[in-house]
Every structure is written in structure tokens, then in C-alpha cells.
Amino acid sequence: MKTAKTDVSSLIEKDRANVWHHISPYIEEKPPMVIQSGQGAWITDHQGNRYLDGMSGLWCVNVGYGREELAKAAYDQMVEMAYVPMTQSHVPAIELAEKLNDLLGGGYMIFYSNSGSDANEVAFKLARQFHQQNGEPSRFKFLSRHRAYHGSSMGALSATGQALRKFKYEPLAPGFLHVSPPDSYRRPAGMSVEDYNIMRAEEFEQKIIWEQKETIAGIIMEPLITGGGILTPHPVYVEKVQEICRKYGILLIIDEVICGFGRTGKYFGHQHFGIKPDIITMAKGLTSAYLPLSVTAVRKDIYETFKNSAENSHFRHVNTFGGNPAACAVALKNLEIIERERLVERSELLGARLQAELAELKEHPHVGDIRGLGFLLGIEMVENKETKEPASAERVASLIAACKKEGLIIGKNGDTVEGSNNVLTLSPPLSCTDDDVEFIISVLKKVFTEL
């Protein structure tokens, strides 16, 4: 639907009167953008302003905007069979589960839900029930990291380690505990990155012992902490966490909601490391957000404990929309596009180019660190390079506003932990052209020069 430019102010008025926006304070002079269309990596607002969407929406539109074949896949499926509850089955759900299992290297069962939060809730419920049916009913606690985000629902928010996302919504679910994140940039002076990461992984072990090892059901973590500030671990960290899980009989749940589907330069973020997770959750890039869909992939031998005929031993969890046929059809087509256009390899290549070109920004007095994996980048801004004092909210906001003025949308790790919201984030569509990447680089260089 095309909207005349003159309608803009009345649209904003109606928006202000009726729409309550996600995680945004009300600022009279800063109304939300009303986005009308998207093509490739670019979005256009109702006033005709074009922006390169350097955040792929919320880290999710991996194949870019305007893909007619995704719309057609949804249309065709809706006409043929619009809805099947997942108590039964349908062709796209079956084909997608097989495809995902292939991408994961096999050995998983696929449970469908609607959102990343849902997928993590399923992981928590499954893990608790598994331990109960596996003769270890005392295991109910989950460990995760401060600064990491795992979703907005009460369980997923409990696992989240971002105090500002929880503030005023507590008390949350009991049994969720947190350890320090691996923040190599702020490691103690004189300590190697590797030693520091081992130390951080061992914090899990310490917590397990303090809490009594037979009470711990699972550890949930992203391959790298994304929304909490792009905290990339040394491989030794991830591998050590798996080792600890195995040592204590704890399930390792890997949250691939952002890292999945090529974002980090591999199909799944955990594939950078020598690990085989027990449970993997995914959403966002699964459909490139054209329709809502999420997945909890569970090791088959865990699934086996739910197959016995004892009363109440099946997984008693249902959601109406999970595994929606059109969403599954879109996911299949989305994966076809990712493969056909080699977007996973492209992510690795473009991420490397971005890092190489932006390396010179490390000299800037307000840039403390630049880090990332694949086409995912964080720029940690500081007031003072020596003390690493985090950049003020105003400085971070002015940088984001300057990018927007130049036509580039970038993000930041907002509302996470007080004093740690100073990391600019970039997660552009993996389908970015070479010109798009040049544009991102030139805008960032320009705005930092002028800062």
C-alpha cells in the first residue's frame, strides 16, 4: 500500500494514539519511523527516505527484503493447507525437520514454536522433564551468563543476564543463576585471552559446586553473546563449558537465535567450536523473519526418554501457531536461497572485509574495541581508552543518529546492564552487495572522523 507523503503526520498521530512500541521510551520529538518498503538491504520510510538496514531489523532478515519467492512459498502453502496443529503433521514441517537435522550434522529431533523465547522455554521444560524421567529429579536449575539475552517470557527472561530487561518485572522464575561473561576486552591486565577465557569457563564449574551439582539441569548460552555486546569467546571457553557439562551430567543448550543461519560465517555459530550441543534453539534467520517460526532441536537419545509408555512421560507442551505450514514452507525456501546464493560463505567474506576496513577505527580516541564473527560486528565505545570508561549514552546516541542521517541504520546493546550499553552493533543482511558493504564502511569512517 503506497501512502502519500502528506499522510505522514496523520499516520504518526494515529501511531501515537494507538501503538505501544517495543522497548522504546516515549520521546515526543522522536516518533518511530514508519517503514513502508524494503528491497535487498535497503528500507524506505513513508517520506521516501532510504536507509541501509545494518541491523536486518532485529538481527533477523538474513536474506534481505523483497524476496518474492518467499512470499510465493507462503501464498502457495496457505492456499493448499493453511493450518495443521503440530499434534499432527504436514509436509513442510517434515521436510524442514529433515533439512535442519542435516545442517546440524544429524542426531536431533525438531520441536516447532513461534519465537526465540518460546524455543528457549521449550528447552527448559524439556530439560527438567528429561532429568526427572532419567532418574535425576533433583536437577532443575539453569546457569547462564550475565549480559546475555535469552528472551522476554518469564522463563527466558529469568535466564537472561541483563538486569535492565528484568528490572520492575521481578520476581521471575526461581532456579536461574548467572556467571560472568567472557569479556576479553576487559580482562585483567597482563592475563592472556586464553587464560582469561579458561578462568571464565571455570566459573561455571565453581557455581555448579556451590549450588550442589545434582541440582543443575542445564547451561544455556549463545555461541557468542550478541545483543549483550558482541562478546566473542576464545574457542577454549566454549569447549571447556561443554567439558564441564559432560563431567557433571548437565545439558548444554546453545541459543542460536541470532547466531544461526549464516550470521557468524557458518550455518550455526556453535560450528566454529568443537562441540555437539544437547539442545539447540533457533528462530529469527530461520525464516529471515518473513513469518514467525522457531525450533528447539533436541538430541535423539534425550527424546527417547519421552517415548516410554509411563503415564505423563510424553512432552505435554503445545502452542497453536508453532510449526505453521506457511512458516515452514518459507523457512525451506529461505534455506534454499541461503544455499543457492552461498550466503554463509558470503557472511564470512563480508565480515572479514568489514573488520579489515574498519581496523583503522581502533585508533579513534572513543573506540575501545572492534570485534565480531562473520557478518556481525560490535564497536565498543569508550570515553577514555586507558581507563576503558564506557562512552556516555549521549556519545553512543549521537553516533547512531549521525549514521542514520547518512542513511545507515546501526544498533547498540540497549537496556542491558547499567554502564555496559556502549557497544554499537552491526548485523546487516547477508545478501548485502559489495556496494552495500562499501557504503557501510564509508559511513562509519565518516561519522567517526566527525565525532
Q: Which is nearer to ligand PLP, 367 or 421 (CB)?
A: 421
Q: Which is nearer to ligand PLP, 222 or 278 (CB)?
A: 222
The least CB distance from residue 127 to ligand PLP, in Å, is 16
Q: Which is nearer to ligand PLP, 228 or 351 (CB)?
A: 228
Q: Which is nearer to ligand PLP, 282 or 337 (CB)?
A: 282
Q: Which is nearer to ligand PLP, 143 or 447 (CB)?
A: 143
DSSP 330: H
Give the cell for residue 235.
574457542
The least CB distance from residue 403 to ligand PLP, in Å, is 21
Q: Which residues contact 334 (CB under 8 A, 6 or more apart)?
A: 62, 63, 70, 261, 285, 286, 287, 288, 290
The least CB distance from residue 416 to ligand PLP, in Å, is 11
Q: Which is nearer to ligand PLP, 317 or 446 (CB)?
A: 317
Q: What is the DSSP string of 351-418?
A: HHHHHHHHGGGGGSTTEEEEEESSS-EEEEEEEETTTTEEPPHHHHHHHHHHHHHTTEE-EE-TTSST
Helix (H) / strand (E) containing 258: none
Q: Which residues contact 268 (CB under 8 A, 6 or more apart)?
A: 103, 104, 223, 254, 256, 259, 260, 261, 280, 282
Compute the distance between CA of residue 97 and CA of residue 153 in angstroms, rounded to an integer: 25
Q: Which is nearer to ligand PLP, 373 or 443 (CB)?
A: 373
The least CB distance from residue 333 to ligand PLP, in Å, is 20
Within 13 Å and on the Cβ side, how many CA atoms surround 295? Answer: 28
The least CB distance from residue 388 to ligand PLP, in Å, is 25
Q: Which is nearer to ligand PLP, 104 or 402 (CB)?
A: 104
Compute the distance between CA of residue 217 and CA of residue 211 in angstroms, rounded to an integer: 12
Give the residue among 226, 220, 197, 173 at the shortest CA–CA distance from 373. Answer: 226
Does residue 204 contact residue 179 with C-beta atoms inside 8 Å?
yes
Q: What is the DSSP string of 71-82?
A: HHHHHHHHHH--
Q: Which is nearer to ligand PLP, 255 or 369 (CB)?
A: 255
Q: Which is nearer to ligand PLP, 293 or 403 (CB)?
A: 293
Compute the distance between CA of residue 426 and CA of residue 409 in angstroms, rounded to an integer: 9
Residue nearest to ligand PLP (CB): 116
The least CB distance from residue 330 to ligand PLP, in Å, is 15
Q: Which residues contact 111 (CB under 8 A, 6 or more apart)?
A: 122, 126, 295, 296, 297, 298, 315, 317, 322
The least CB distance from residue 159 to ligand PLP, in Å, is 9
The least CB distance from residue 60 to ligand PLP, in Å, is 8
Q: Strand order of the sheet with strand 279-282?
A: 108-113, 294-299, 279-282, 251-255, 216-221, 141-145, 176-179
Compute the distance between CA of residue 391 and CA of residue 368 in angstroms, rounded to an integer: 9
The least CB distance from residue 19 to ligand PLP, in Å, is 18
Q: Please report, as ranges, the residues that interact with ligand PLP according to CB under 6 A.
A: 58, 115-117, 120, 149-152, 222, 226-227, 255, 257-258, 283
Q: What is residue 213's three-state secondary structure?
A: helix
